[in-house]
Chain A
């Protein structure tokens, strides 16, 4: 599982690299674009996702201790929190559609001259690629959790055999760590630069 997670690090690493290069090339535009994202939902979602990591680790702990009911309860809680995260994400994306912040012919970001709109589209392309890929990982994680919940209900996991729960936990925490980096990069950095460079 760790080897798989390393391949995932490189996978996301490529996107972080692309982000770093374009942010270095157009820092002012990226600052304006990044500041247009609502910070509250992002921060709240971070807390939700961290909470789901907590319940996940408690599910693993319950499996280690052989507490059958607790495994199921904590897995369901993790699934619910993951669902909340994806729901908030959907609301955020919906807002982007309403504001014409989707890269494409109708794209327009307020506070930027016309010749810089293209650069702002780059930011939002990266925003959607990175959060989208992260959300896809969450959906896959939710599928894994649902499978585990059914298996746990049948009492499949004991302290001697809890590797599936353990490994699913590693995956879930990894997705959490990716978000830990996405949140400051996409939402926070350069938010203090209030004035758009006109």
Chain B
């Protein structure tokens, strides 16, 4: 599928970054950042996801169709999460029984 072949060095570098990020996210979990601990933990997770998908899954060299499918999928995931949480967070706001 992907014509481009990455060098061994690239993969090892990406792997090293992933390990470092794992260490950072574990260490920072013990620091009290208040509400930001969630943001930092998920931010690092997203960075790791990007590294794995772009390099290990070859998204970097993939066709536009593949990228479109991936972005579309993540968009729908975002819709599912945000819509449900919007519903959940605003229940009872109206003060109407059953709402």
Contact = CB atoms under 8 A, between A and B. Distances in A.
Mostly, the A contact residues are helix
Contact of A21 (B15, B45, B84): B84
A177 B52 contact: yes
A192 B31 contact: yes
A50 B25 contact: no
Kindly name the residue among B22, B33, B76 whose own CB sees the greatest number of chain A CB atoms within 10 A: B22
Interface string A171-198: 0011011001101110111111100000
Kindly name the residue among A16, A54, A180 whose own CB sees the greatest number of chain B CB atoms within 10 A: A180
B76 to A, nearest CB: 7
Interface size grouping (class) on chain B: 35 or more
Contact of B26 (A39, A58, A185): A39
Interface of B: 1-2, 5-6, 8, 11-12, 15, 18-19, 22-23, 25-26, 29-33, 37-38, 41-42, 44-45, 48-49, 52-53, 55-57, 66, 69-70, 72-74, 76-77, 80-81, 84-85, 88-89
